Amino acid sequence: MGKGESLAGVACFGIRHHGPGSAASLVRALDELNPVAVLIEGPSDATPILPMLASPAMKPPVALLCYPEDDPARTSFWPFAEFSPEYQATLWAVKHGVPVRFIDLPSVARFAETPKPEPASAAPADANIPDAEDGAAELGVPQVDEEPPEFRDPIGVLAATAGYQDGESWWADLIEQNPAPGPIFEAIADAMSTLRADLPTLPVFEARREAHMRLAIAEARKAHEGPLAVVCGAWHVPALNTARPQKEDRALIKGLPRRKSVMTWAPWTAPRLAFAHGYGAGVAAPGWCDHLWRTRARRDGVSLWLTRIARILRDKGHAVSTASLIEAERLALTLAAIRTRPGPGFEELREASVACLFGGEALLWKTIEDRLLLGNEVGSVPADAPLAPLIEDLQRNQKLARLKPEALERELSLDLRSDSGLFRSTLLHRLVLLGVPWGRQTDTGGSRGTFRERWILAWEPEYAVQLVEKLVYGVTIEQAANAYLAERLSQTATLDALAELIRAAITAGLPEAAAHGLTIFEQRAARSSDCAEMLAAIAPLADIVRYGEARISGGAHLNALLTRLIVEAAINLPYAVRDLDAEAAEDMAERIAAAHAGIRLTEPAPDVLQAWFHGLTNVLGDARATPRVAGGAAHILYEADFLAAGEAVRLLECRLSPGVPAMDAAGFLEGFFSASAARLIHDEGLRRAVGGWIETLPEDSFIAHLPLLRRVFSGLDGMERKRLIAAALGKAQNLPATFIPTPDGGALWRAHLSILRPLLTGNADD
């Protein structure tokens, strides 16, 4: 590819997207050139809303959000930070009253009408500096290349030539952190021309992009008299600054998809500008880049950065002296000099801080690294910006709820008795249902039916995409959540999953979806004979009866539905617990326990409760019932006083008698005591039954059952374990008070007790 004839009156400025040094150099170059128009690499169909980027109400980081009108799910982003050269070029153009426009392919040209191919290996421009492409790559949207790219890493080549190990450090030293970079744009253009000279062909999509940009430049040359400024990725400079036959360029872009697109502005976050978060055009440390931009005209940038570190440490309660700060700055300057860098980068400052401020503890640095290097900023867009309806409704609700989106996590405690607390809770629950987990509830299940909820909030930019994808369901959060959840309910097959979704609908204040779900639930319940499914549905449905009383009506109907489920599950229970393997038995025991907890919660009528207990009793009387499940059923009956203490002891003695296989006895023991080992402290009869079973175990069987005993005792705290061993040993003897002599004179019991004692006292080795 030859160099060709340069275009007269066109100045191409090759920049790095989100490079603070590039942005500073670009602003100086624009002041010197004073162009009559500014052309920027970006989707040309977004030109009408580009000047809005310079609005005083626009606070970066923000992103241009583009999607086909008929397919909102295929959304792409073009992020802008305050230190992005494209953002500064737009500010310059608006300030000086000159036209500014995007010149790249329209956004919808990135989406072919045919099925998308597998993404080819990333071009070096995407991976490194000169033209790391827009946010489409970050969001997993494949490019439409029709042939695999053959790019080399241009910055990597230049860095290796200069003796650097990586292109990032070379570019930072030469441009981003260089206090006197000199005529960098000319140097970049020459370097890229040399690197592209031996490139045989371009991928088709990249060739189309450059053809479209050349045609846009030609059109601008006809429309304006005077110098034009073209701001583009450094890799494209040789192609855009060279004359090409327009006929060939038009042939290249012929046949591109033609679809109507929608353009909006959306808030972005500082951490999502980092390539470590998956953004192909990102930078290593957005927080450091922002610092470089803000201190570009100052000489005390290093001191300010270290002061910021000290402030964060002091806020965390660490003592940081002024002398330590001075030593850290000296060390950073020395490291930069040894490495022949123009000044300390964030790597040198990090190493100096660890040595002088963190006492050499690198782990302490990790506690502040994200806050310092990534930042916590979330952008905002003007009120008159064209927004997707759901994003606009979200912003309206955020203002009403007085909740500001932040990039880093923060805690939020809500009192549901207040209107504001209930409104915030409803909003967060609706967003979770829409696949936008802005808030993560930390006490799920623990606060249902009470008046408190605790959340962890953290905003991610892709949540805007997920909202755009839900536009097909409605134009408000409430409308979309109702319709989307109704669709999910219609597609859900099991009763327990239906009950969970209905509970979510009620919690999120979505009565239409809840009513639709209850109708489906009632129809499915009438046809279901799966006991495990019914058991799993009882707990969430019981929670709805309790927790939903303040949010929906129709409690009598729900109670009737719950009653029918309980009775039918009780009838089917004995047949559902027969001959289960270990995994199925554990699952069934958990379902029964959860169902019983839900039943207790709602305090059903005595006849309903009697039917439930009768089903559990039938499990105990069934010889084929799995011992692990039968033990759990016996425990529930004992805890509910449906099984008297004497009967429980006799049942346990029978189930643990020598005639019962050791594995069956162990399963029953685990089921009975897995949630109530503390009963052994106070109930001498139960303790005697368990002790008698342990006495009869041969040594090999006893050792084989030690993991089971460990699980049984694991729920006891240290004091409870001490009390249990005291009860087992008796007050004045080394043998238990309920000791029964054995043929070997107690030797077997003594041997077992010597192993059990560490388990009970908590001194057993793991």
**Distance in angstroms (rounded) separating the CA atoms of residues 589 and 636:** 11
3-state secondary structure of 53: helix
pLDDT for the residue numbered 462: 80
Taking only the tens place, the pLDDT of each residue in 394-438 is: 888 999 999 988 877 888 999 888 889 999 999 999 999 999 999
* 702, pLDDT greater than 70: no
Higher-confidence residue of 582 and 646: namely 582
Whole-number Å distance between alpha carbons of 751 and 694: 11
303 φ, ψ (degrees, to nearest 5) = -65, -40
Residue pointed to by tokens 């694991």: 714
Query: Phi/psi of residue 412, each to 5°?
Result: -140, 125
Among 326, 330, 296, smallest CA distance to 310 is for 326
Taking the C-alpha atoms of residue 346 and residue 367, their distance in angstroms, rounded to an integer, is: 16
SS3 state at 452: strand
| Token pair in block for residue 749 | 């019991």
Tens of pLDDT along 298-346? Answer: 888 899 999 999 998 888 888 889 999 999 999 999 998 998 888 888 8
The stretch 710-724 carries a mean pLDDT of 63
The predicted pLDDT at position 726 comes to 66
In the structure encoding, which two tokens stand for residue 388, read together?
């997707």
Kindly give the residue spans of alpha helices, DSSP state H, lying in 339-476: 346-356, 362-369, 389-401, 419-433, 462-469
Neighbouring CB atoms inside 10 A of 510's CB total 28
Question: Is the pLDDT assigned to residue 739 strictly greater than 50?
Answer: no
Strand order in 10-15's β-sheet?
10-15, 228-233, 37-43, 100-104
- Residue 270 forms beta bridges with which residues? none
CA distance 84 to 80: 6
Lookup: tokens for 497:
């999953």
Query: 290 to each of 88, 178, 208, how far by Cα in Å?
Result: 13, 15, 33
Distance separating alpha carbons of residues 676 and 715, to the nearest angstrom: 8
Closest CA to 280 of 76, 63, 117, 125: 125
Residue 167, sorted as left (phi over 0), alpha (psi -120 to 50) or beta, turns out to be alpha
- pLDDT the model gives residue 742: 46
| Per-residue pLDDT reduced to its tens digit, 168-225 | 777 777 777 776 666 888 888 888 888 887 766 778 888 999 999 999 999 999 999 9
User: What global pTM score does this model have?
Assistant: 0.62
Is residue 637 helix, strand or coil?
A: helix
Sort strands 10-15 and 410-415 into parallel, antiparallel or unpaired: unpaired
3-class SS string, 146-200: CCCCCCCCHHHHHHHHCCCCCHHHHHHHHHHCCCCCCCHHHHHHHHHHHHHHCCC
Backbone angles phi, psi at 564, to 5 degrees: -65, -40
Q: What's the pLDDT score for residue 359?
A: 86
Could you count the other beta carbons within 10 Å of the beta carbon of residue 733? 9
10 Å CB burial of residue 667 (0-12, 13-18, 19+) is buried
Other CB atoms within 10 Å distance of the CB of residue 521: 24
End-to-end CA distance of the chain: 68
